Amino acid sequence: MRRLVVLGVLLITGCAATPPPPAAVTPVETGTPLTRGRALVEARCSSCHAVGPVGESPVSPAPPFRTLGQRYPVADLQEAFAEGISTGHPQMPQIQLEAGQVRDLIAYLESIQSPARKP
């Protein structure tokens, strides 16, 4: 009986002394601005927009992100993302980002821009 009590105490204290596993860190919390920006658009935007340097948008009216620079300077979108973007069509949710997320998003968008096609 004494052995069982000692064994039980050892098991309990051994488990208590084992540190818990580290919390999972998402890519949005680590890495470079480009990797965080990419993770952000993949998580929040890729169901409608093409978010990479190639490919078509899953929703045809949604512009590929690599072409945004053909319409406006991408850096000019910072304020819109910080204040909240809302559009005239109901499928697009209102988007509002924290300052760090805006910087990461702009860095990523600038990295994938395609030059305008010549007619």
Q: Which domains, and CATH codes, for the chain? A: 25-112 (1.10.760.10)
Q: C-alpha distances in angstroms, 68 versus 25, 32, 74, 77, 105? A: 30, 22, 7, 10, 13
pLDDT of 92 above 70: yes
Mean pLDDT, range 52-74, rounded to an integer = 93
Give the pLDDT score at 71.
87
- Check whether 51 has a pLDDT greater than 90: yes
Mean pLDDT of the 87-114 span: 85
Q: CA-CA distance, 26 to 43, in Å (whole number)?
A: 11
DSSP 84: -
**Structure confidence at residue 97 (pLDDT):** 86
Note the pLDDT of residue 29.
58
Model pLDDT, residue 87: 62
For the whole model, what pTM was predicted? 0.68
